[in-house]
Each structure stands twice: as structure tokens, then as C-alpha cells.
Amino acid sequence: MVSPYVRAHRLRAELVALRAEAGLTHAALGKLVGRDRQPISRLENGRSLDIDLVLAILEALKVEGERYSQIVKAAHDAGSRGWWDSAARAMGERQALAADLEAGAISICEYQQTIIPGLLQMPEYTRTRIEADPTPLQPGVTKEGILRGRAGRQRRLRQPDGPTYEVILNEFAVRRRSAPAAVLREQLLHIAKRADEERITIRVLPIAAELVDYNIPATSFTAFSYPEVGDPTVIGIETVTSYVALTDPDQVAPHLRLYDSLREAALPIEASREFIIQVAESICAG
């Protein structure tokens, strides 16, 4: 399935564009379809999803052909429910939104500055990180729920129609003792093994790497791209308390340029794999 979040964003953009092209206010469009202005506003702002209202707007504005089909499809996709909806309370809203954005993505490009990415985490490592986090779990969120959420997201990478996944690991994220030695060693060896998979690319960004214009990232971030023309590229940023999704092209573009510069500065693929293995072996030796 395609990300309902992304399709809802596409639907809102299409509806706003249609009304603007017709030169209508919310109230004027409401009169055409026999509704007040409030339902139109709520639909465009994403506070409601009324497919009957969407169809009425398309009919009133005489939208036909491919554009009609695409908007109707976006409306139905926006209202669909993924596996993460029923699991959201236990796995956490932040992880549920990440799973939503991953759904239907054709490519996922992640820069991870401080820790092993969730899509590559082994259960033992995830469990350690949950136990090490001083922030109490939100009401309803459970350790097992988080683990099941991780597993569900990772299944997407293994599916035949799954996305390509490229991750750039800051050297800090590789070397930092973010778990007990035995757990971290197995986790790093697991990453090195996953690097052999066809759709997964892993690079390490050395601390000594010199970035273009010394543009150092302020935070980790992930770029999600989708196959359908018109769907936005989304930047996901996980904070301490939430997962933020950026869709404004003016906010997305700088992140994509930054990612390109990080890729240029990172070690080659095979050298990155060897680096990760060396760090894992040094942990064992220590």
C-alpha cells in the first residue's frame, strides 16, 4: 500500500490547487456543492476526510479524465489503514508515522548521526536502547510493542517490492558504545552482513571527513521518495518526543542537497563494510 500520510498530503494539495484555479473562496465552493465553508476548509487542512465531499467538488468543478482518477485514488489511499494503525498505541506514535512514510516508498535514504538506525536494529540492541532511555514510555507504549513495530517495518525492506535503502552512518554512531559490548558487536556484524543485500547500501562518514562548504548536519534525518508523480518527497526527523514530517519543497530541498554532500564525503561501500567489521572486532578484543 501507499503511505496514507503522503496520499493525504497529495489530496490536500490537489484540492487547494483546484479551488485556486477556479478562483473560488471556501464559501463560494461550499455553495456550489451545497455545504458550508467549514467542511471545505477542514478537508483542505487535513482535519477531515470526506470522500463524498471530494467527489462533489470534482463534479462541481467539472474535473475529468486522468486528473479526476488521480484525485479519487489519492482520497481512497488517504483513508486506508496500514498494519501500524492497530499497533500504533503499543509501538508508539513516532514509530507508527515512520512506518506510514515507509509504506510504498521506492527509496529511503537515511543519515544517522548518533545511533544504529531502527531499520537495521537487532531485537537485542533495540531492547537495550529501550531500557537505557531515561524518558518513560508513553501511556500504552510497551517494550514488546516497540519490538513488534521494528520487526514490521523491517519486513518492508525484505518484500519483493520493497524500497532501496541507503544509510550513511556517522563514525560516531558506529563507535559509540550504545549497548553492552557483546550486543553491540553482534549488531555491527549484522549491519555488515546486511550491506551485502542487493537493495541495501551502507556507508560510513568518517569524523575527519571534510564536507562541502563545511555544512555539518544538525541532526539525523531520512528522505522518503515515492514512485507516483505528484507525491511529495518527505523528510522525516525524529526528535525526543515526536517524529516530524517535512513536505514543503523549500524545506525538503536543503536536506536532499546535504545528503548528497554527505554521500560524497563518506567512505566507499566496501571500505565502509570493512570499517564496521574492524570496529566490531575491536570491541570483542577490548
Residue 148: CATH number of its domain: 3.30.870
Residue partners of 98: CB distance under 8 A and separation at least 6: 118, 153, 222, 236, 238, 243
Q: Among 241, 5, 225, 259, which residue's Cα sits nearest to residue 107?
A: 225
Instruction: Provide DSSP, 231-255.
Output: PPPEEEEE-SS-EEEE--HHHHHHH
Task: Return the pLDDT at 286.
Answer: 53
Question: In this predicted structure, what is the pLDDT of residue 46?
Answer: 86
Q: Which residues in the chain show pLDDT less than 50? A: none
Q: Is 18 helix (H, G, I), strand (E, B) or coil?
A: helix
- Measured in residues, the chain has a length of 286
Strands across the sheet containing 221-225: 200-205, 164-170, 107-112, 221-225, 234-238, 243-246
Hey, what's the cell of 13? 494539495
Torsion of CA 2, 7, 10, 15, to 10 degrees: 140
User: Final residue of a domain: which of 16, 48, 78?
Assistant: 78
pLDDT recorded at residue 214: 86
Q: What is the pLDDT of residues 61-84, one digit of tens each?
A: 999 999 999 999 999 999 999 999
Tens-digit pLDDT profile for residues 126-179:
999 999 888 888 899 999 999 999 999 999 999 999 999 999 999 999 999 999
Domain membership of residue 51 as a residue range: 4-78
Structure confidence at residue 240 (pLDDT): 78
Residues 173 and 97: their CA atoms lie apart, in Å, by 23
Same domain? For 142 and 182 the reply is yes
Residues 187 and 62 placed together within one structural domain of the fold: no
Q: Is 224 in the same domain as 274?
A: yes
> What's the rounded Cα separation, in Å, for the pair 118 and 241?
16
DSSP 196: T
| Residues 49, 155 within the same domain | no
Helix (H/G/I), strand (E/B), else coil: 273:
helix
| 43 and 103 housed in the same domain | no
Residues 88 and 48 in one domain: no
- Burial annotation 45-82 (CB, 10 A radius, 16+ → b, else e): eeeebbeebbbbbbebbebeeeeeebbbebbebbeeeb
Last residue of a domain, one of 78, 112, 141: 78
Entry pTM:
0.93
Quote the pLDDT of residue 285: 59
Instruction: Give the pLDDT score at 70.
Output: 94
Q: Pairing relation of β-strands 221-225 and 234-238?
A: antiparallel
Residues 258 and 153 in one domain: yes
Domain total of the chain = 2
